[in-house]
Amino acid sequence: MRISEAATISGLSADTIRYYEKSGLVPAIRRGPDRLRRFSPENVEWLTLLYWLRKTGMPMKEMQRFAELYRQGASSIPERKTLLLRHEVRLRERRADLDQCSKVLAYKIATYKKIEGDLS
């Protein structure tokens, strides 16, 4: 499959995929005889994973490390697992941020409503 299809499936843009490849985040994208990229299902699965990791705040350096481990094969699985577990911690932190922000907003909106009530 070619880049546009890989983009729609993974959620990343074609530009971002190329950028990720250049930055070493995507191991082993082959090229066809036409020099165009060909994406295997594993490639697309990998990109989809990157999509979610990035979207939830994993920095590129960490994704680079992750890709490096991936290239090293099955022996790196324990370390890959710890990396993902650390990301789960980040998810929890982000959820706490969202909750905190919800509270702040609820308070603000309530005071706005009160002011509106006072004015009318």
Partner DNA sequence: CTACGGGTCTGGAGTGGCTCCACGTCAAGG
Partner DNA sequence: CCTTGACGTGGAGCCACTCCAGACCCGTAG
Q: How far is CA 54 from CA 37, 57, 86, 116, in A?
A: 22, 5, 14, 41
Q: Which SS3 state, helix, strand or coil, does residue 114 take?
A: helix
Among 19, 48, 68, 87, indicate the residue that binds DNA (CB under 7 A). Answer: 19
> Is 67 a binder of DNA (CB under 7 A)?
no
Residues in 27-46 at the binding interface with DNA, rule: CB under 7 A: 34-37
- Cα dihedral 65→67→69→73 (10° resolution): 180
Minimum distance, C-beta of residue 49 to a copy of itself, in the bound complex (Å) = 7
The answer to the question of residue 9 lying near DNA (CB under 7 A) is no
Please spell the DSSP secondary structure of 53-94, one letter per residue: HHHTT--HHHHHHHHHHHHT-GGGHHHHHHHHHHHHHHHHHH
Among residues 14 and 69, whose Cβ is nearest to a copy of itself? 69
CB of 27 to DNA, least distance (A): 16
The least distance separating DNA from the CB of residue 35, rounded to whole angstroms, comes to 6
Does 92 sit near DNA (CB under 7 A)? no
Q: Of these, 9, 54, 69, 80, which contacts DNA (CB under 7 A)?
A: 54
Q: Is the dihedral of CA 22, 25, 28, 34 positive or negative?
A: negative
Binding residues for DNA (CB under 7 A): 2-5, 13-16, 18-19, 34-37, 54, 59-61
